[in-house]
Amino acid sequence: MQKIKNYIGGKLVEPSNGQYLDNYNPAIGSVYSLIPDSTSKDVELAVKAAEKASEAWANTPAKERSDIMSKIADLIQRDLDKLAQAESIDNGKPLKLAKRVDIPRAVDNFSFFATAILHFSSEAHSMEGIALNYTLREPIGVVGCISPWNLPLYLFTWKIAPAIAAGNCVVAKPSEVTPMTAYLLSELCIEAGLPEGVLNIVHGLGPKVGSAMTKHKKIKAISFTGGTKTGEEIARVAAPMFKKLSLELGGKNPNIIFADCDYDKMLKTTIHSSFANQGQICLCGSRIFIERPIYDKFKEDFVKKVKQLIVGDPDGDKTNLGAVVSEAHMNKVLSYIKLAEEEGGTILAGGKRKILDGKHKDGWFIEPTIIEGLSYDCRTNQEEIFGPVVTIMPFDTEEEVLKYANSTEYGLAATIWTEDLSKAHRVADLVESGIVWVNCWLVRDLRTPFGGMKNSGVGREGGFEALRFFTEPKNICVKWA
């Protein structure tokens, strides 16, 4: 069985204790590879390797760093098919989605930050006749990146690329649930000639590896994407150590549909924003609010279309939804469907585990599920489910829908559908959300600030925000003679 290795000091190495964890193919429901069960000892080795490389990498001209990163982007592009297949097997997502979204975005993350660093600049403030201030933006040193399982290579590279571009050396931990493409990336980094120790990837469990990274004195910044509870734990440990923290956490995103929207466009996109990647995108709209005049029509059309979605073999050309990522996650999502029924909800579509035939008979598939009849403040409508489950609710006024939309502890993303420009701006302004899409969903410009408010996170990723996070500003004030 294939054994994934850690990537430390430029080499692919076994975990120091020789222990491995099972890695599952969720569409089959069985183990297909092994992942290092690393410990704080491996984190220590990775930090040492990163420290050793730190000065040279920080002093490497931006153009040279940029060239190596562009080479990594080219290699990911070259291996797109292989990486997409690996991502689909590891995560359960449809292969065509990995080919169209996940791997191209990993290419973009490297190429975007390879060029962004060439355009990054800092400020100067002149105090006329008195002094000149100029601000240097220096690499932090050794930084930590911890990522989740839902968009494995996509989110892993979204953190690593700006960190390296800015001249830091990185200790990174992908999710133990989906480690494969991070491992394949380490092979590509070696091929691209990334200097030893600039990127170190330690595989293993959060409470062991992630926690050792968070606690490590030499790791000066942590960029984390994952659940709000884990983010809380990381903040509890890292904040008293005065580490820089970027936390991208959970969401419970509202999709607000006004009666005057472009109906066909809205319906098509809403299916996508509800169930893409089996609903396991932090930006999926899981609470759908529909203005009453079109509620019945929307309900009928949406239910009809969702029932036509194909849940099946991730390799299938026609597959819309693959498997959810793990058995534990499947059971969590199913428990929320049960909760919704207990809370008085009616299941309009789906609601069950989907059992497939043949080699997928033990795979972890869930039918896309629509629930109605719940109050906006019940647990089903307040807690993150992170699966192919949405609720639908009617509303009558802007005031009412904003109350519903803003009622959760989260504030990551919101979608608004209306052809009324003033209303779009007004509601976008009042919705408590770090990202708002009007008449679209998941349209991404990598230069824009990305992240959530409230319990959805602290700080923003993307563009120069990320480069600012991964650098330490130093202001130098020079007195005029």
**Interface residue with ligand NAD, options 175, 181, 255, 319 (CB under 6 A):** 175
Strands 124-127 and 6-8: unpaired
Residue among 228 and 369 whose Cβ is closer to ligand NAD: 228
Minimum CB distance to ligand NAD, residue 293 (Å): 33
CA atoms of 430 and 377, how far apart (whole Å): 19
CA atoms of 46 and 213, how far apart (whole Å): 10
- Does the protein bind ligand NAD through residue 26 (CB under 6 A)? no
* Residue 31-70 contact track with ligand NAD, rule CB under 6 A, x = bound: ----------------------------------------
* 395 SS3 class: strand
Catalytic: which of 145, 169, 189, 282? 282
Catalytic: which of 87, 176, 233, 248? 248
**Interface residue with ligand NAD, options 214, 319, 320, 326 (CB under 6 A):** 214
State phi, psi for 153 to the nearest 5 degrees: -75, -35
Pair of tokens at residue 448: 């824009």
Q: 156 Cβ partners below 8 Å, 6+ apart? A: 106, 145, 147, 172, 174, 181, 182, 185
Binding region for ligand NAD (CB under 6 A) out of 101-109, 225-233, 347-355, 373-381 = 225-233
CA atoms of 164 and 114, how far apart (whole Å): 9
Please give the sequence-ordered ranges of beta strands (E in DSSP) within 128-232, or none if there are none.
Answer: 131-139, 142-146, 169-173, 199-201, 221-225
Residue 41 burial (CB count, 10 A): 12
DSSP annotation of 359 reads G
CA atoms of 202 and 16, how far apart (whole Å): 11
Q: Tell me whether residue 248 is one of the annotated catalytic residues.
A: yes
- Does the protein bind ligand NAD through residue 182 (CB under 6 A)? no
**Interface residue with ligand NAD, options 176, 291, 313, 367 (CB under 6 A):** 176
**Interface residue with ligand NAD, options 120, 364, 376, 386 (CB under 6 A):** 386
- Does the protein bind ligand NAD through residue 23 (CB under 6 A)? no
- Does the protein bind ligand NAD through residue 395 (CB under 6 A)? no
Residue among 108 and 248 whose Cβ is closer to ligand NAD: 248
Minimum CB distance to ligand NAD, residue 410 (Å): 9
**Interface residue with ligand NAD, options 150, 181, 186, 471 (CB under 6 A):** 150
Give me the sign of the Cα torsion angle 79, 85, 88, 91. Answer: negative
Q: Tell me whether residue 440 is one of the annotated catalytic residues.
A: no
* Residue 254-293 contact track with ligand NAD, rule CB under 6 A, x = bound: ----------------------------x-----------
* Residue 85-124 contact track with ligand NAD, rule CB under 6 A, x = bound: ----------------------------------------
Minimum CB distance to ligand NAD, residue 328 (Å): 10
CA atoms of 324 and 334, how far apart (whole Å): 11
* Residue 339-378 contact track with ligand NAD, rule CB under 6 A, x = bound: ----------------------------------------
Number of shown-chain residues binding ligand NAD (CB under 6 A): 31
**Interface residue with ligand NAD, options 279, 345, 351, 452 (CB under 6 A):** 452
Rounded to the nearest 10 degrees, the angle between the axes of helix 398-405 and helix 421-430 is 40
Q: 134 Cβ partners below 8 Å, 6+ apart? A: 122, 123, 124, 125, 475, 476, 478
Residue among 65 and 460 whose Cβ is closer to ligand NAD: 460
* 244 SS3 class: strand
CA distances from 208 to 42, 44, 136, 369, 474 (A): 10, 12, 36, 35, 34
- The one-letter amino acid at 90: D
Minimum CB distance to ligand NAD, residue 226 (Å): 3
- The one-letter amino acid at 252: K
* Interacting residues toward ligand NAD by CB under 6 A: 146-150, 155, 173, 175-176, 206-207, 210-211, 214, 225-227, 230, 233-234, 248-251, 282, 384, 386, 412, 452, 456-457
Positions marked active-site? 248, 282
